[in-house]
């Protein structure tokens, strides 16, 4: 497996056409290495989610090259895309939990066909417990708060020990204790499994687990120094 789980070169992306065309990414270069946590921040509408979905093979590459987990995304067919996504843990704002399944069953679903059911059930319980949800295993999504749903989605994404995690605002809807549990889970999966983690967020509370913080402005990525680096130091000393 190459050292860089994500290798993005000169990637540009636009929406619309003609006078309504809006360019959200401009010749973006991004590399995320195994075991690294990279956080991308920026204003709403800056293109953060577009960047994330390109890395997850959920959106077609228009210009430039993207290699994820050693696979070139341009020209990658449906089977190749499915195989790639099976190695990625996705955490999105919308949770995407199955309403007919309990919290535990939603997490178990990620392991069906991978390990025996009893083992999947055990791992799901442990994963939920690590995120403060041991008592919510049998609760259905309609019985969960927004923050609890988000933590279930995090457990589901991490339980298969992915090679790459792509997270869109994983802590924004959480209280401080829950956000800390999610941050620790993301940092641990990077440190213990050499998983690469790419997070896009407005939430400064997550900056202190980052190896690098980048800001997306006017379609370009820049490494953050100054005020956001001060936030990282303050969070680390709190």
Amino acid 189: pLDDT: 94
Taking CA atoms, 165 is separated from 89, 91, 138, 225, in Å, by: 5, 8, 26, 24
Tell me the pLDDT tens digit for each residue of 164-176: 999 999 998 889 9
Sign of CA dihedral 180, 182, 184, 187: negative
**Residue 107 CB contacts under 8 Å (≥ 6 apart), including other chains:** 124, 127, 128, 152, 155, 156, 159
pLDDT on residue 225 = 65
Question: What is the structure's pLDDT at 21?
Answer: 87
14, containing H or E segment? strand 4-15
Kindly report the pTM of this predicted structure. 0.89
What pLDDT is attached to residue 93? 80
- Tell me the mean pLDDT per 10 residues along the chain, length 238: 83 89 93 96 90 94 95 93 94 89 96 91 94 95 92 93 95 89 94 95 94 94 67 42
Angle at the Cα of 44 (from 43 to 46), degrees rounded to 5? 70
58-108 pLDDT, tens digit each: 999 999 999 999 999 999 999 999 999 999 999 988 888 999 999 999 999
Find the angle CA(66)-CA(69)-CA(73) to the nearest 5 degrees: 35
What percentage of the chain exceeds 90 in pLDDT? 76
193: CB partners within 8 A, 6+ apart: 161
Q: Give the SS3 label for residue 10.
A: strand
Whether CATH 3.30.460.20 fits 34-59+78-237:
no
- Tell me the C-alpha distance between 26 and 236, whole Å: 33
Handedness of CA 66, 74, 80, 91 (dihedral sign): positive
């Amino acid at each position: 497996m190459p050292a860089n789980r994500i290798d993005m070169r000169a990637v540009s992306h636009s929406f619309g056409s003609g006078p309504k065309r809006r360019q959200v990414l401009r010749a973006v270069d991004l590399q995320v290495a195994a075991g690294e946590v990279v956080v991308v921040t920026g204003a709403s509408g800056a293109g953060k989610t577009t960047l994330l979905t390109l890395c997850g093979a959920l959106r077609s590459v228009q210009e430039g090259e993207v290699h994820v987990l050693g696979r070139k995304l341009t020209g990658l067919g449906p089977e190749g895309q499915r195989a790639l996504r099976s190695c990625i843990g996705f955490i999105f704002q919308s949770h995407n939990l199955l309403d007919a399944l309990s919290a535990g069953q939603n997490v178990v679903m990620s392991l069906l066909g991978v390990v025996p059911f009893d083992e999947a059930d055990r791992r799901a319980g442990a994963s939920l417990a690590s995120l403060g949800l041991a008592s919510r295993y049998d609760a259905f999504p309609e019985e969960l708060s927004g923050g609890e749903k988000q933590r279930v989605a995090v457990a589901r994404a991490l339980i298969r020990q992915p090679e790459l995690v792509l997270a869109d605002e994983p802590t924004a809807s959480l209280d401080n204790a829950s956000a800390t549990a999610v941050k620790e889970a993301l940092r641990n999966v990077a440190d213990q499994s050499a998983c690469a983690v790419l997070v896009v967020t407005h939430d400064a509370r997550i900056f202190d687990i980052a190896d690098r913080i980048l800001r997306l402005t006017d379609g370009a990525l820049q490494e953050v120094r100054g005020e956001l680096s001060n936030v990282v130091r303050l969070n680390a000393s709190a």
